[in-house]
Chain A
Amino acid sequence: MDLLFLAPGDLPRWLDDLARENDVFVLRGGDPAGAGGGYARWPFGDGRVPAAGGVRAAEALRLFLLPARGRVARGADPKARPRAVVGVKACDLASLPILDSVFRTGRSIDPEYVRVRETTTLIAADCTTSLDVCFCTALGRSPFPEKGFDWCMTEIAGGYVVEVGSERGARLAERAGAYLLPADPRAIRARSELRERVTEEVRRRTADAGVPPGEEVVERMDRARRAEIWARHAETCVECGNCNFSCPTCHCFLLADGEKERLRLWDSCLLASFARVAGGGNPRPHLADRLRNRFEKKFWFFPGRSGEIACTGCGRCTEGCLGKIDIRAVLRSVAHV
């Protein structure tokens, strides 16, 4: 389908339309460097205008698909409204095939995940800048959305270029016909230039940080997981679990029973209790074992199981680590064993 164009003044009006049938969450920028932005319910209510640029939200997209504390329901909630999430960056879209491989592939599927996934409209957006911790390009990914979205919006001077990426996106475009124009060649050129510039920026950061390519990490991991590199990196870990909780692909959870209902709670493989069995035995008693497990899972287990590295290069684990463990430094060690 041809690229479309949305004028800045029409974005709030289109979001209002979208909010008639959906609970709409829109990315709001953070500080001037772009860090710390997050999704907020539309309309914002504080007069701020939406934007589609900047960088990824502080919180991962999976928060919408697998809440940190969710009820295990007997069936769909008839009152639940569909959702639209606006401003999703490529590093969050990249988590979807990984989460799908866990929750809606194979013999056992999670009907609640499938329902939310299928009723969530994804309006993606290009990164118009990057963060110091970004390294998506090292993993063969891009800072602009390529697949997995209903719409992709690219913020350029004077408006947004809109790419339709699904049948649902095409229906949305039909209904938004009043706001959409065909994108002119100047706008299309501006989109390409932005993509080249930001991709180059992330490539440079990745090169400066010495991040090895994803395929090299995967190849080395079978040796690295038995090597003595983990204790050194785990030295400053304080077992807060933030690397897991901020990660777009981490999927581990606990089932816990309350008085009336069963809950699904996020769990963290860095916590000592994660693999502990009844009676107290623990296959991974040391932090070094548990840090190794996290990397082994993402860069060895998932590539073998579903063909994908379960890391999107978003850098949230580095950004949020109280012990200042930098995933890029760990990957450098893996590549050098």
Chain B
Amino acid sequence: MSERSPYLPVRARLEDVRVESSTIRTVVLAPEEEIRFRTGQFVELTVPGVGEAPFTPSSNPRRAERMEVTILRAGRVTSAIHALAPGAEIGVRGPYGNGYDLGALSGKDLAIIGGGVGLAPLRSLVLEVLEEPERFGAIRIRFGAREPGELIFRGEIERWRRHPSVDLALTVDRAGGDGWTENVGVVTTILQDVAPNPARTEAIVCGPPVMLKFTTLKLLELGIPAASIHLSMERNMSCGVGHCGHCRLGKYYVCVDGPVLTYDKIQAEVDAWF
């Protein structure tokens, strides 16, 4: 039995900060003790004296010594993280939860669908998948954002688009006037061709709750089975280890049984979407 409290973080140094959009930044962390995570797992980040909040790293899990976390400014803790400069000290706990089950995904066509800051965990997944693309069938990526300026990881997205295994499309809710040449509309408007063979497709979806809901409905309509729709569920998670009770969703604690839950596990729950 470890005597260390599961509620206390290890120290990490903030190595670098990248501005991704007006509201989203990526922080690069060097934890004092290496934190090895599976793609899709999450960590709790502490700003000393302010508090902590859960985030899924956006970096390649095979580069554990440099963990990147991409954060939307949404509240007290995220604003405090946005205010940090390189060299600052931050706390990290984790990793927690199940992460993406790459074993279950291998041999299948992948439909990777993200919205807004939901691209962050999916970047980690795409980076890992592209380490061994031969393990998977077609890799179809569909990303959306409210407007072009909020579509993050643009440089990398263009590199992935040129990868022979990847089929990628983008959309924005509103184009504005800055030369956007791709689709305009919510992310469900670019899903028609995301699963030509629905029975051998695994869909991985991450984004705000309303986007998860309508994407799930669209994927079901396309014929993808509920058990093949992998959703990153958003819940209030405080402890990360199934003790504090906040993140219960039906039979599951999102922090230990998720955050990735297939739709069959939650479709009967009245509070699955909000």
Contacts and interface: CB of A to CB of B under 8 A. Distances in A.
Interface of A: 72-76, 102-103, 106-112, 114, 225-226, 251-259, 262, 264, 267, 269, 274-279, 281-285, 289, 293, 297, 301, 304-305
Contact of B235 (A109, A110, A275): A275
A72 B235 contact: no
A230 to B, nearest CB: 10
Given A75-B3, A278-B75, A279-B75, A251 B242 contact: no
B241 interface: yes
A119 to B, nearest CB: 14
Nearest to A258: B49
A269 B238 CA distance: 13
B7 interface: yes
B4 A276 contact: no
A267 B3 contact: no
B244 A252 contact: yes
Contacts of A253: 238-239, 243-245
B246 interface: yes
A85 to B, nearest CB: 22
Nearest to B209: A281
Nearest to B51: A257
Given A257-B50, A289-B271, 18 more contacts: A111-B2, A225-B270, A226-B270, A251-B243, A252-B246, A253-B244, A256-B51, A257-B51, A257-B52, A259-B49, A262-B8, A267-B245, A269-B245, A276-B236, A282-B274, A284-B271, A293-B248, A293-B271
Given A226-B270, A277-B235, A267 B4 contact: no
B36 to A, nearest CB: 16
Interface string B45-84: 0101111110000000000000000000011011000000
A262 B239 CA distance: 12
Contacts of A281: 208-209, 234, 274
A64 B62 CA distance: 44
Contacts of A305: 251
| A interface, over-half SS | loop
A108 B49 contact: no
Contact of B243 (A110, A276, A301): A110
B5 A74 contact: yes
Contacts, number: 109
B196 interface: no
B53 A278 contact: yes
Nearest to A285: B274
B6 A110 contact: yes
A72 B251 contact: no
B1 interface: yes
B235 A257 contact: no
A173 B274 CA distance: 57
Given A279-B74, A284-B271, A297-B248, A255 B239 contact: yes
A101 B267 CA distance: 27
Contacts of A109: 1, 6
A174 B187 CA distance: 73
Nearest to A115: B3
A255 B238 contact: yes
Contacts of A75: 3
Contacts of B52: 255, 257
B79 to A, nearest CB: 10
Contacts of A275: 235-236, 246-247
Given A257-B52, A297-B248, A102 B243 contact: yes
A114 B245 contact: no
A287 B91 CA distance: 35
Contacts of B208: 281
A111 B238 CA distance: 18
